[in-house]
Chains A and B, each alone.
Chain A
Amino acid sequence: MLAVLDVVEWQTILDFETGKETAEKSALAAMAQELLKRNRYPGDMHLESISWVTNVALDLYRSYSPQFMFLSFSKPFFSSVFEGADDVKWQVLLTLLFSRINHFIETTRMTPVVIGTGQMVPLKGYINLSTLDSLACGGGMIPRFAGLYKPSAGDLKLVRTHEHIETVKTKEEIIELFGNNEEFVRRLPDYVLAAREGYAFKTFGAIARPVHKIPARNMEVPVFTPLGEVNSITEIAPLVLKNLETQKVVLIVLEGIGQDDFLMPYAVCSNSLDWYDYAPGDGQYLTIGSGRHLASHSYFPGFKYYLDDSKEKKYPLSAYFNKYVPIMIGHSFKGKSAAVGSRSVLTHMASGADISVECFARGLYNYGTIAILKDQA
């Protein structure tokens, strides 16, 4: 795999598996270089990041003619989390978001599957686990789940009686729910904790930026598609694949958008497995992209994120992922596929597309853009 990295006015081509610069070139890489030059990412917190996704997607649609496209929009999520956008700003954002999506659909005539990742709710408070005897790791940017490693009896008593902790599960209970996938089990904490709605964990690894809203406990999320009934987020990938035999399909993920803000006619589908509900992030993205639950492609929130980051780790630009599980729509579909997203890493991980163009932002810092190119058969 090749990656074309554009850090604003300077580009390089990397071997995506090693992260090292390469002299290798391809027609697709040359096309990506021009596309990135034409479309500079405005930054995660800019409203224009919404138009950036659709502009790049239309550019890519014209130049590559994909039959399957995957688009991700993270701006609503970042606005909710870090700005706590007021009503007027929020309505402006929603209007722009849905008008750009409609414009893309009308222009390309691709059949849409549009899914919101779920409602956001005001942060009520943090559950601080740093004073425990044991190590606690949070999962994701604003963790609603946390992992405990070798907890003392006192730690367990504390978390089991904590008023803002809803669930404490053992490793065995997680395996029973998600299955005994070796990779998944290898990174499971001894215990996992789920916060009550409105609360997030503060642990080692947590971010410092002030947070306004966090994901609600979304057992269901809104979905719009003319392709047929969707009962669960795991049914989206098979539905898309089935319809790609006869038509062009675009799968659009709207982060931080729940039923209250979904400005399209929608149905609701399950966003959960038993008590576990997916929050915006790796697990939810890859479940949507593959049609399979968490254990097939990622780790349970609260794993030790740093453990695999040795010098031998493959795919260093893909965060903690050290391999590609080839079960996403773009892997199964043999026609042309392309992805564009303002969500770094997860756009290429969840799409499996021939070409994935995404922002290269880390911690809200805008380092530019990247195009990841799958090896062509």
Chain B
Amino acid sequence: MECAYCPRRCLLQNNVPGTCGAYYAEQGEIKEKYPHRWTVMYAVHIESVPFYHAYPGSRSFLFGSSGCNLDCAYCSNAYVAKGDPSDLFTFNLPPAKLVDLAQKTGCHNIVFGINEPLVSLPSLRELAVEAKSRNIPMGCLTNGYMSEESAREISALFSFINVSLKSLSNDFYRDLTGVLSVQPVLDSIKYFSERNHLEITTPIIQGINDDEIEMMADFIAGINPAIPWHVFRLLPEYKMKDHDYPHIMHINRKLEEVRKKLPFIYFSNFAGSRWVNTLCPQCREIVIERINFSGCGGKVVDYKLQGNRCPFCGGGVPIHGQKVSWNSMDEDYRGG
């Protein structure tokens, strides 16, 4: 039978999975091959996921499974996305147990990252029920390459979503990710933008998609100029690990040209980035100051917004959820 989760529409047979390796057919039903099996669980700053405009300052329970429906030639997490699940799946945790762990580690929210949530959707469906019953918001990172039915489900399960928009070109998706069209990704972005808190991440590969920066900015601004856009200086791995790192000033010059269209552009995936602060779109004062001390993301070091308003000019800055302090949910924190 045909798999319904993504536009690949793989033909599933008994014990023969599709491209992502996550589903098979059994007695006329699509079955998840590794239900409730997870590879990693960490407590991280939500900014490092990255989400810059959702629950600022919070501690996220970041977890992932294994597998992906794309085959990005530069994938940074190929050891998880493309690795042998038998080497990777360590944790077999039903929803209640995973949410218990999130609470024991003082996390404010739960985020599925590392690999593509589409490959674990039935498990995530059950997990979302459990998290919702305990008022814990859930978010995810996704490549956005999914069927309409899956987009509806992802939208319902996760209140905050970060979609990876790698290019606007079908050629890019065909040559570097193994699928024929970018359109399903664009459709997902539009769908989520109307229903969820949405942020977008674009990995920049020098000489391959840096010329698309202006077009991508136009596309995002056309949907909603308030969408935060994370531009990643990609360090290619997997099949492209010898490719050059993007040149920071070259990329930033291109970003400067489009900051008027999109006020919330962030440029990171390198430590020390000076482009991770949130500026008020009206008065250009720094209203959220962050440092980037590792590769991706970083953390908040100064938060000046009052509600969702700039304290200098009163201008609005869209933030999903409340600012919280890192240890506010940790019963064992004793200071120091």
Contact = CB atoms under 8 A, between A and B. Distances in A.
A62 interface: no
Interface string A140-153: 00000000010000
Given A202-B90, A365-B76, A309 B294 contact: no
A362 B295 contact: yes
Contact of B101 (A8, A135, A366): A135
Interface stretch (B34-42, B212-220, B223-231): B34-42
A365 B332 contact: no
A164 interface: no
A306 B108 CA distance: 13
B193 to A, nearest CB: 30
Contacts of A130: 41, 90-93, 97, 101
Given A14-B272, A126-B90, A130-B101, A367 B248 contact: no
B271 A207 contact: no
B40 A210 contact: no
Contacts of B272: 5, 7, 12, 14, 21
A10 B270 contact: yes
Nearest to A211: B87
Contacts of A8: 245
B248 A7 contact: yes
B249 A10 contact: yes
Interface residues of B, number: 52
Interface in B211-268: 235, 237, 245, 247-249
A149 B332 contact: yes
Nearest to A134: B104
A207 B101 CA distance: 17
A310 B325 CA distance: 7
A360 B272 CA distance: 11
A229 B247 CA distance: 51
Interface in A1-49: 5, 7-10, 12, 14, 18-21
Contact of A307 (B44, B79, B330): B330
Contacts of A362: 294-295
A84 interface: no
A74 B326 CA distance: 32
A128 B295 CA distance: 29
B105 A5 contact: no
Name A's interface SS: loop
A59 interface: no
B248 A10 contact: yes
A245 interface: no
B124 interface: no
Interface in A308-336: 308-311, 316-317
Contact of B43 (A18, A149, A206, A306): A306
A157 to B, nearest CB: 19
A291 B90 CA distance: 38
Given A135-B104, A311-B300, A5 B271 contact: yes
A304 interface: yes
A307 B42 CA distance: 12
Given A126-B90, A130-B101, A307 B80 contact: no
Contacts of A316: 291, 293, 299
A265 B265 CA distance: 57
Given A131-B92, A131-B97, A311-B301, 11 more contacts: A9-B248, A18-B301, A130-B101, A206-B90, A307-B327, A307-B330, A311-B300, A316-B293, A317-B293, A360-B271, A362-B295
Interface of B: 39-45, 57, 59, 64, 76, 79-80, 83, 87-88, 90-93, 97, 101, 104-106, 114, 235, 237, 245, 247-249, 270-272, 274, 291, 293-295, 299-302, 325-327, 330, 332-334, 336
Interface of A: 5, 7-10, 12, 14, 18-21, 126, 128, 130-131, 134-135, 149, 183, 186, 202, 204-210, 304, 306-311, 316-317, 360, 362, 365-368, 370
30 contacts: A5-B271, A9-B245, A10-B247, A10-B270, A12-B272, A19-B293, A21-B272, A130-B91, A135-B105, A183-B336, A204-B42, A204-B43, A205-B42, A206-B41, A208-B39, A208-B79, A208-B88, A210-B79, A210-B87, A304-B105, A304-B332, A309-B45, A311-B301, A311-B302, A362-B294, A365-B235, A365-B295, A367-B270, A367-B271, A368-B270
